[in-house]
Amino acid sequence: MAETRRTPGWLPVAAVAAVLAVAALTGLFRNPGPALRMAAHLVPPIATFADLPRAALWSLLRLTGAYVASLIFSWIVAYRAATRPAEARIILPLLDVGQSVPVLGFFPAAIYVFVGVLGGGRWALELAAMFLIFTSMTWNIAFGIYEGLSTIPAETRAAVQSLGVRGVLLWRALLLPACVPSLVYNSILSWTNGWYFLIASEIIAAGPVQYDLPGLGSVLSLAFARGDLRLAAAALITLIGVVLAIELVVWRPLRAWSRRFGYDTQPAGTREETLRLPDFGLPTLLRPMRTAARALAARLPIAETNRAWSSATRTWATVWRFGRWPVRIGLGLWGALALFGMVRVLLPPWPREAASLPLALLLSFLRINVAYVLALAWIVPVALWASDHPRGARALSTVAQVGASIPATAFFPVLVALLVDRYGGMEMISVALALTGMQWYLLFNLLAGVQRVPNDLRESLRSLGLGRREIHRQLVIPACMPSLVTGSVVAWGGTWNALILSEFVTYHGRVYQVTGLGALLNRATFQTGNRTLLFLSLALLVITVVTFNRVVWDRLYRYVNHRYVLEG
């Protein structure tokens, strides 16, 4: 495309190198142990009802901050990937790995790094939490923007170019609008994800770490830990209220608005519509805002902005021509140092606990699969029932959508309060939390699959005299396979996060844990402060998930999409 803007080529590399280097350098020069202990004195105050609005506000602020950061990062990355095929070959696989890695595993490490670098203050914690939420949001958004940019039809792009449209006008007329539908859709997913990790990080901060990270998650967790059920219920209701309110007031209207940016020319009525909730009075509120934005945009001096922009990029190119070598050498040195730090941390002798890593991995793996099988055990019959009752299917997908938008982590303290010391205790909690995390997503995907089964195929089988069961076996189940596998990949990978939270719990001043990778990660950060163990378990976690995705899910996905996709 004609856009010849040059952003420095080292930017993505530098970002990765910086993260690595910071992680490893923390351990080289500074022992975060004392800082971690220092920060532990920031004991959260006892929460009361009056704290709820403040807590809700803090949670929202954290989430919004992380969302804005993800937007900026995703734009840069996705734009480069969409405009430079050579970089896309590197960026897209990186995004894919980022998306499939259980980011909650990095929260202990992030606390470790941020506290190690910035000291044990509130800011370090806030940044660690926002970083965690950022890493749960950004991949999805980047894929959305990439999809939007790369699916602009070639003729549309050529048409806009042939009119001489460049610079700011090109962004306003083509690039931004083209991204709106997939950006909004993926933002909703990311936002939901963000809630999950926000609550998780607040619970971890209030639990094992005992930091002061005011938010709904910490109020919830503290209230349950003290046995204050009224406050806990109030916090839970506030949380659900806030989540649903944002869904209704922000995302739903945005989603409706974004539809007009599709290339799809078919009328809106024929599209599959899973549910319709009232769109509250937001359009009336939006109209004056839009008028204001238009007026502002009309006054925007496009020509001057373009000229300023191109002169700035020219200046930057000159500076870069002279400055790139010192910068590159510096980065290289830093990278070497970081690598050295990593190697030193990972080199034997390993702590004795490292011997339990394989067993921990196996047990965590089993827990996830038990949860997965349990989820399938109730979801498949329900989806099959829904396939015979279209109205029921629509109602169910509303339930699944609402269920999925409420962060499952919020029910974690409830589970702990109910189950700890009872009925298999921690094992039950781990599996139950994994189940609550994955079931909505699976259900949602499977229902979508069921609803896509063409009615004429079903009728043709019925006219051949097949019974309901036969139709399920011959048609519905095979037709749902692609949706089932798609849902499974995401649910299965995401559930590793639940284990980080649920294998190591502080409740009533006592630590409850089971043998598992999540427990090891938490222990390495908060109890023993053992870097080697932390890095080892993280590496093992990432390798396991990525390998399993490659070896099992990817193949299954390809096979199923090859074998079971309905034509037309």
Partner 1 sequence: MLELQHVSLAFSDRARPVTVLEDITLAIPDRQFLCIVGPSGCGKSMLLRLMMGLIAPTSGEVLNDGRPLAGVNLHAAMVFQSFALLPWLTVQANVELGLRARELSEEDARRRSAFYLDKVGLDGYEEAYPAELSGGMKQRAGLARALAVEPDVLFMDEPFAGLDPLTSANLREEVLTLWSDQDLPVRTVVMVTHIIEEAVLMADRVVVLASRPGRVAADLRIPLERPRNKRDEGFDVLVDSIFERIV
Using rule CB under 8 A, residue 177 touches partner 1:
yes
C-alpha span between 213 and 203 (Å, rounded): 9
In the complex, least distance from residue 85 CB atom to partner 1, rounded to whole angstroms: 12
- Residue from 69, 94, 286, 302 that binds partner 1 (CB under 8 A)? 302
Q: Which is nearer to partner 1, 302 or 357 (CB)?
A: 302
3-state secondary structure (DSSP) of residue 507: strand
260 near partner 1, judged by CB under 8 A: yes
Q: Segment near partner 1 (CB under 8 A), from 62-70, 235-243, 262-270, 400-408?
A: 262-270
Q: Distance between CA 294 and CA 302 in Å, rounded?
A: 14
Q: How far apart are CA 201 and CA 178, in angstroms?
A: 34
Contact 504, 518 (CB under 8 A): yes
Q: Is 164 near partner 1 (CB under 8 A)? A: yes
Contact between 255 and partner 1 by CB under 8 A: the answer reads no
Ordered DSSP codes for 493-549: HHHHHHHHHHSEEEETTEEEE-SSHHHHHHHHHHTS--HHHHHHHHHHHHHHHHHHI
**Type of residue at 152:** I
Q: Which amino acid is at 341?
A: G
CA proximity to 554, closest of 465, 469, 492, 477: 492
User: Which residues are 511's β-sheet partners?
Assistant: 506
The answer to whether residue 270 forms part of the interface with partner 1 (CB under 8 A) is no
265 vs 318, which CB is nearer to partner 1? Answer: 265
Residue 263 sits in the site that holds partner 1 (CB under 8 A): yes
- From the CB of 5, what's the least distance to partner 1, in Å? 15
In the bound complex, what is the minimum distance in angstroms from residue 305's beta carbon to partner 1? 12
In terms of Cα–Cα distance, which of 420, 209, 165 is closest to 303?
A: 165
Contact residue for partner 1 among 20, 60, 98, 166 (CB under 8 A): 166
168-176, 213-221, 443-451, 494-502 -> range binding partner 1 (CB under 8 A):
168-176
Rounded to 5 degrees, φ, ψ at 266 are: -70, 150
SS3 for 2-30, per residue?
CCCCCCCCCHHHHHHHHHHHHHHHHHHHC
Q: How far is it, in rounded angstroms, from Cα 233 to Cα 192? A: 21
**Tokens matching residue 181:** 């539908």
| Region binding partner 1 by CB under 8 A among candidate stretches 169-177, 245-253, 379-387, 407-415 | 169-177
15 vs 158 by CB, closer to partner 1: 158
Least distance from partner 1 to the Cβ atom of residue 2, Å:
7
347 and 535 Cβ atoms separated by less than 8 Å: no
CB of 261 to partner 1, least distance (A): 5
Stretch that binds partner 1, among 82-90, 240-248, 296-304, 366-374 (CB under 8 A): 296-304
Establish if 160 lies at the interface with partner 1 (CB under 8 A): yes
Q: Residue from 64, 83, 150, 161 that binds partner 1 (CB under 8 A)?
A: 161
Question: Which phi and psi (to 5°) does residue 211 adopt?
Answer: -100, 170
Q: Taking CB under 8 A as the rule, does residue 93 contact partner 1?
A: no
**DSSP code at position 506:** E
CB 523, CB 500: distance < 8 Å = no
Q: What is the CA radius of gyration of the chain?
A: 25
Task: Report which of 486, 554, 542 is spatially closest to residue 109, judged by C-alpha positions.
Answer: 542
Return the residue matching tokens 């919004």. Answer: 64
The structure tokens listed for 85 are 């095929």
d(CA 32, CA 38): 10
261 touches partner 1 by CB under 8 A: yes
Binding mask 491-530 for partner 1 (x = CB under 8 A): ----------------------------------------
In the complex, minimum distance from the CB of residue 276 to partner 1, in angstroms, rounded to a whole number: 21
Choose between 302 and 402: whose C-beta lies nearer to partner 1: 302
Among 173, 336, 373, 464, binds partner 1 (CB under 8 A): 173
Least Cβ distance, residue 185 to partner 1 (angstroms):
16
CB of 289 to partner 1, least distance (A): 17
> What residue type is assigned to position 12 of the chain?
P
Q: CB under 8 A: which stretch of 96-104, 165-173, 320-328, 524-532 binds partner 1?
A: 165-173
CB of 488 to partner 1, least distance (A): 35
Residue 301 or 332 with smaller CB distance to partner 1: 301
CA distance 511 to 385: 43
Tokens of 224: 């349950």
* Closer residue to partner 1 (CB): 163 or 359: 163
Give the residue, chosen from 265, 270, 284, 318, that forms a contact with partner 1 under the rule CB under 8 A: 265
∠ CA 136-62-407, nearest 5°, is: 55
**Interface residue with partner 1, options 174, 416, 435, 519 (CB under 8 A):** 174
Chain residues in the site for partner 1 (CB under 8 A): 2, 153, 155-156, 158-166, 169, 173-174, 177, 180, 260-263, 265, 267, 298, 302-303
